Amino acid sequence: MKDPRSLSILDYTYSLPEERIAAFPLAERDASKLLIYTKGTMAEDTYRNIARHIPNNSLLVFNNTKVVEARLLFQKPTGGQVEIFCLEPHEQYADITSAMLQSGKVYWQCLVGGASKWKPGQLLEKTIRYHDREVILQAAWIEKRSGCFIIELSWTPSTMSFAELLHAAGAIPLPPYIKRKAEDSDTERYQTVYAKHDGSVAAPTAGLHFTENIFNSLRGKNIRQAYVTLHVGAGTFKPVKTEKMEEHDMHAEWIEVSQELIGQLLQSLNGNIVAVGTTSLRTMESLYWMGVKAASGGLRATSMEITQWEVYERKEKDIPANEALTALLEWMQENKLERLVTKTQILIAPGYRFRIINGLVTNFHQPQSTLLLLVAALIGEDWRKVYDFALKNEFRFLSYGDGCLLWATSPDT
């Protein structure tokens, strides 16, 4: 497997006109256009017909994370506004789920808009209504770190969980390239229909197109569905600003998978496993490497996390995917873990060899992004043909835009 550290991000760019970025979703989720790429050829359809383009008995893997209303607006007594954007929990919490269940008080890593107007020690306060009762929310500036602030959020009555508090007081955080304020409709549309676990500050956008009608058509071909949870962080929008990839710091994200999911992957390795979204893909490929650790006796509670470059640095001999997943499943069973909760920072770029998946459903990504590098890892230089086709055929781009079904063709796959 080639090490992508020497890659130049300038080789992964294209011209994206502002008017091609979708500011709003289509009226019907499954009416979005779908580009199908297979062995260098391209076709066009709509999402409602996606089952026609996936072989019988395939496995589709979805990310069932739920976007939280992570934007909190406070008004200072002097009239100035401070925006707190909740990124991820303070490291004192074991995982996002336990942090979301905190009641009365929580510590969070945040971005702060208007921070110059907010002095340390000064309390911000707002009153909201939730289920016909009054809730008082306060924010205290605790610590400034590189790239974020540590904010203490407290509320009374304290019986509410932090997840409930965000639902009541916050706003959906639309991506920075959507140049408008969130509207009431975004609360539903910037969320998949199968969203389940609170924790993301950005939607797994490939899944936004799926409807119950699509799921019915998939079932008609015995195309099975499985679910992972990866909580998408704001780092997914972080542009690569360094010339070489070795200087880029990849964001880490929380993942949660069940024994059942690993069993489903094991049963499907000889067929087609399609990731719905780059987050599902990164989760499944990370599971392979956790399995490699488990097989070599190197998997401990402190070393589950997959770091940015370790998959390119490992000296152990590669093992088949079924051996890796079996080792991981057995390790979970030995440790009486029904669910595995950890972080992944895996960077998938040209040179990476895929172990689990052979297909990807995804939206069209920003130029010079790690998501575009992932697409190039899957289909090689043909990523340019795919994006040129989409631009010439009036496809809509980014989170609320159209998407594609890509079958792996990279020689390293």
What is the pLDDT at residue 412? 46
Q: In this structure, are residues 378 and 408 in contact, taking their beta carbons and an 8 Å threshold?
A: yes
**SS3 labels along 137-185:** EEEEEEEEECCEEEEEEEEECCCCEHHHHHHHHCECCCCCCCCCCCCCC
What is the pLDDT at residue 237? 65
What is the pLDDT at residue 314? 80
pLDDT per residue over 319-353, tens digit each? Answer: 999 999 999 999 999 999 999 999 999 999 999 99
Angstrom distance (rounded) from CA 376 to CA 378 = 5
Kindly state the percentage of the chain with pLDDT values over 70.
Answer: 96
What is the pLDDT at residue 317? 72
Average pLDDT over residues 186-209: 95
pLDDT per residue over 143-168, tens digit each? Answer: 998 888 999 999 998 999 999 999 99
What is the pLDDT at residue 298? 65
What is the pLDDT at residue 209? 98
Between the two ends of the chain, the Cα-to-Cα distance in Å is 10
Which pLDDT band holds residue 127 (cuts at 50, 70, 90)? very high
Angstrom distance (rounded) from CA 101 to CA 307 = 27
> Does residue 381 surpass a pLDDT of 90?
yes
> Does residue 239 surpass a pLDDT of 90?
no
Kindly state the percentage of the chain with pLDDT values over 90.
Answer: 76
Phi, psi dihedrals of residue 176, rounded to the nearest 5°: -65, -25
Task: Output 296 or 195, whichever has higher pLDDT.
Answer: 195
pLDDT per residue over 12-25, tens digit each? Answer: 999 999 999 999 99
> Does residue 61 surpass a pLDDT of 90?
yes
Q: Which residues, listed in sequence order, are joined to residue 224 by a DSSP beta bridge?
A: 59
Angstrom distance (rounded) from CA 27 to CA 211 = 13
State the chain's mean pLDDT as an integer: 92
What is the pLDDT at residue 299? 65
What is the pLDDT at residue 383? 98
Name the superfamily (CATH) of residues 4-66+190-407.
QueA-like (3.40.1780.10)
Of the segments 81-95, 135-149, 202-216, which one has the largest average pLDDT value? 202-216
Angstrom distance (rounded) from CA 303 to CA 105 = 29
Going from N- to C-terminal start, the domains of the chain cover: 4-66+190-407, 70-170
Which stretch of 74-78, 231-235, 237-241 has the lowest confidence by average pLDDT? Answer: 237-241
Task: Output 238 or 58, whichever has higher pLDDT.
Answer: 58
Helix H or strand E encompassing 371:
helix 370-379
What is the pLDDT at residue 236? 67
> Does residue 172 surpass a pLDDT of 60?
yes
Task: Output 239 or 228, whichever has higher pLDDT.
Answer: 228
Which pLDDT band holds residue 255 (cuts at 50, 70, 90)? very high
> Does residue 80 surpass a pLDDT of 90?
no
Cis peptide before 157 (omega within 30 of 0): yes
> Does residue 2 surpass a pLDDT of 50?
yes
Q: What is the CA radius of gyration of the chain?
A: 21
| CA neighbor of 380 nearest in space, from 356, 398, 354, 344 | 354
What is the pLDDT at residue 210? 98
Three-state DSSP state, 401? coil
Angstrom distance (rounded) from CA 64 to CA 85 = 22
What is the pLDDT at residue 413? 42
Instruction: Find the angle CA(210)-CA(212)-CA(215) to the nearest 5 degrees.
Output: 75
Which pLDDT band holds residue 81 (cuts at 50, 70, 90)? confident
DSSP label of 386: H
> Does residue 398 surpass a pLDDT of 80?
yes
